[in-house]
Amino acid sequence: MHVLQTLEMQELSDHFQVIKRLGQGTYGKVLLAHDKKTGEPMAIKLVRKDRTKLKAFLKELSMSVSLSNNHGIIKTYPVFIYTMDYYVMAQELAPAGTLHHLIKAKVGIPEDAVKRCAMQLSRALDYMHGRGLVHLDLKPDNVLLMDNDCYHIKLCDFGLTKNVGSLVSSLSHIIPFMSPELCDLKQDEYLILNPIIDSWALGVLLFIALIGHFPWNAALEGDIRYKVYINWQKNEDLIPPPGYWENFTKDALNMFNKIFSHDCAARPSILSVLNYLNVPWKVENLSNDGMEVVEEQVDVMTEIVEDSQEFVIEQDQEGNTTTPYGRDLCNPALVVLEETTTLTLGSEVEIP
């Protein structure tokens, strides 16, 4: 059981020295700071009070702290901080930033690095699923890097996380990571939350990391990219893979086809990607004579030791926090958005 320590706004500057801004979104900002007592660098996440209710913030904070023991989840310190305009949580620093900023538009990142991400993310999500939780907001922005080669990455941002079996209503907007059952929800309809939703999002994330491009804007019949993919999926023995899908090997296509099954009951668990780590995913990684190249780096990954402590929370009916991702609606290639550099922490603070 964790006990949260509370720091009032006038105490914030006494505990932390703000160095610079690391990121900014609709719901708040992330700063690089040093703990004045220990000298330890850390990330300070500030969530706007006018965009987030206290109950929702405390839910995310308590959940983040309780999941921190897992090797693949970012550590959150058991401290509740608030300022005039923000609720604040302190987390360990991920020195290499987010996976989003590592991915090059229309290029992606090396396949061996993607496989390292697949291994670690699937295990971190399986840890959550085993405790009855669905992340519900998996995307490159919410994957933090401890190094630039993805040997150690960590899952973060649990503002949308809910219990398995929770009822989810139609969402205000649709993003490429949402499964068809989420995208298809109509007003006054509800979906019983299942971990398979995270499996779909992981598939989209792996596609983006490999190609540097979204597979579609929404998993809906009205989205031409998704419609073409579904048509090919139904007739894969008769027609070649469309567009970007031709970059993948038969093994990778088989993996994606299972993950992207429109029938959620037929979709495999989050750990299914582990069955494909020792075969090439991209055609360019096949040898000249067609023999498959085995990614040796996968075999040297350190085994992740998972904590067995269970964590149960009361289902929250309030609004939750999230951050937007940068993308062009007409061209779903990844983009990075720059923001302003002024921050209010009770008083005005200029960020270098």
Question: What kind and span of H or E run contains 13?
Answer: helix 9-15
Count CB neighbours of 236 within 10 A: 15
Q: How far apart are CA 219 and CA 182, in angstroms?
A: 9
Give the pLDDT of residue 7: 54
pLDDT of 101 strictly over 70: yes
8 φψ region: left (φ > 0), alpha (ψ -120 to 50), beta (else): beta
Residues in contact with 53: Cβ distance below 8 Å, sequence separation at least 6, in sequence order = 318, 319
pLDDT of 237 strictly over 90: no
Give the pLDDT of residue 183: 95
Q: Assign 83 a pLDDT band (cuts: 50, 70, 90).
A: confident
Query: Among residues 137, 141, 198, 316, which one is catalytic?
Result: 137
Give the pLDDT of residue 287: 62
Q: What is the mean pLDDT of residues 181-194?
A: 93
pLDDT of 305 strictly over 60: no
Could you tell me what percentage of the chain is helix, strand and coil, using 3-state DSSP and rounding each to the nearest 5? 30, 20, 45
Structure tokens at 112: 């061996």
Told to judge if 85 belongs to the known catalytic residues of this protein, a careful annotator would answer no
User: Per-residue DSSP letters for 41-65?
Assistant: EEEEEEEETTTS-HHHHHHHHHHHH
Tell me if the domain spanning 99-300 has CATH number 1.10.3720.10: no
Q: What is the mean pLDDT of residues 48-75?
A: 95
Give the pLDDT of residue 81: 84
Give the pLDDT of residue 84: 86
Tell me if the domain spanning 5-94+336-350 has CATH number 3.30.200.20: yes
Nearest CA to 120 among 309, 324, 271, 326?
271
pLDDT of 28 strictly over 70: yes
Find the farthest-apart pair of alpha carbons in the chain and give their distance in angstroms, rounded.
67
pLDDT of 315 strictly over 70: no
Each domain of the chain, given as residue ranges in start order, spans 5-94+336-350, 99-300
Report the percentage of the chain scoring pLDDT > 90.
Answer: 66
| Average pLDDT value for the chain | 81
DSSP character for 318?
S
